[in-house]
Structure 1
C-alpha cells in the first residue's frame, strides 16, 4: 500500500517512531521531494484518519513498525493518497495487500452486494471477513451506509 510506504518513509529515514509534524513535512517535501509542504500536511490528516499516525499536538507517532515497510528507491507516491478514501476502497486495499487480485475481489464484492441487497461498503466488509481479514474498524462505516441508504429510500 503506497499510503503506508509514504507514511513510513519519514519515520524510517529518522530511525524513530515519533516525529514533530514539521520534521515529517520536511522529510516528504524537501528531503524526498514527493509533495509540497501543504500536501505533506494533508497526508498527515489522511494518515491520521486512516489510523496510521496518531497526533498529540505537534507530535506524530506512527502506529505500525516502519521497519516492516520496504521503501523502493524509485518509489514516488501518487497524489491520490491525499484524498479521503471510502471504506470500500480501504477494505479493497486490505484485500489486495493480503494477496487477492483486485479485479477478482471487486467482482466478488459486487456479486455479494447484489445477492444480499446491501451497500458496497457492507458487501466489502462481509467479503473481507469471509476471507479471514479483520476489518472490524470498517463495520461502523458499513452499518452507517446501510442505515443511510434505508433512510433515503424511506424504508424502516
Structure 2
C-alpha cells in the first residue's frame, strides 16, 4: 500500500509532525513490527527523496499533514515501498491514500494523458490536483514532462 501511510503512522502514533529519527525507527520497527531498523532507515531515505520527509538536524519533519492520513487497522506495508518509485507511482500512492481505488485512478490518469497529450507523470499530477490531493513536491517533475512531449 502507500508509502505516505507508512510514513504517517509514527507521526500519528506520537501526535506530532516532527520526530527524532530514532523515535521514527522505533515506531516502525519495534512498536509496529513492520520493518527491521535498517529497513526503517531505508524508508526514511525513500520518503526524504520523495519529498514526504525533511531533515531538520536530528529530527524528521513530515511535509504533509499526517493527521489527514488514515492508517487502516489491518495495514501492513509491502517491502516494495522501500524502493525508488516513479513520480507516477508516487501520485498513485497519494491518490490511494486518499481513498481512491487504484484501478479507477490509473484509468482516469491514462484518459487525461491521452486528452492532454502529456507524459504520464504530468497527467498524474494534474489529475491529483483536480481531485484535491496534495502532490506539490512532484510538480517540477510534471512540468519537465510537459516539454518532453
TM-score (norm 2): 0.76
Is the radius of gyration larger for structure 1 or structure 2?
1
Please name the residue that 1:54 is paired with.
Answer: 54
Please name the residue that 1:154 is paired with.
Answer: none
C-alpha distance 66-143 of structure 1, shift in aligned 2 (>3 A): closer
1:137-156 paired onto structure 2 within 5 Å: 137-147=137-147, 149=148
Which consecutive residues of structure 1, in runs of 5 or more, have no partner in the other structure? 151-156
**Separation in structure 1 between the aligned mates of residue 38 and residue 16 of structure 2, nearest angstrom:** 23
Aligned residues: 149
**Separation in structure 1 between the aligned mates of residue 70 and residue 130 of structure 2, nearest angstrom:** 28
- Choose between structure 1 and 2 for higher RCO, CA contacts under 8 A separated by at least 6 residues: 2
**Separation in structure 2 between the aligned mates of residue 100 and residue 12 of structure 1, nearest angstrom:** 21
**Separation in structure 1 between the aligned mates of residue 136 and residue 128 of structure 2, nearest angstrom:** 10
RMSD over equivalenced CA pairs, Å: 2.8
Please name the residue that 1:41 is paired with.
Answer: 41
Shift of 1:124: 1.9
- More moved, 62-71 vs 105-114: 62-71
Please name the residue that 2:20 is paired with.
Answer: 20
Please name the residue that 2:107 is paired with.
Answer: 107
Shift of 1:68: 4.2
**Separation in structure 1 between the aligned mates of residue 72 and residue 105 of structure 2, nearest angstrom:** 26
Shift of 1:135: 4.2
- More moved, 57-66 vs 78-87: 57-66
Cα shift readout 1:74-110 (whole Å, capped 9, x = no counterpart):
3321112212222112222333344443323322322
Which consecutive residues of structure 2, in runs of 5 or more, have no partner in the other structure? none
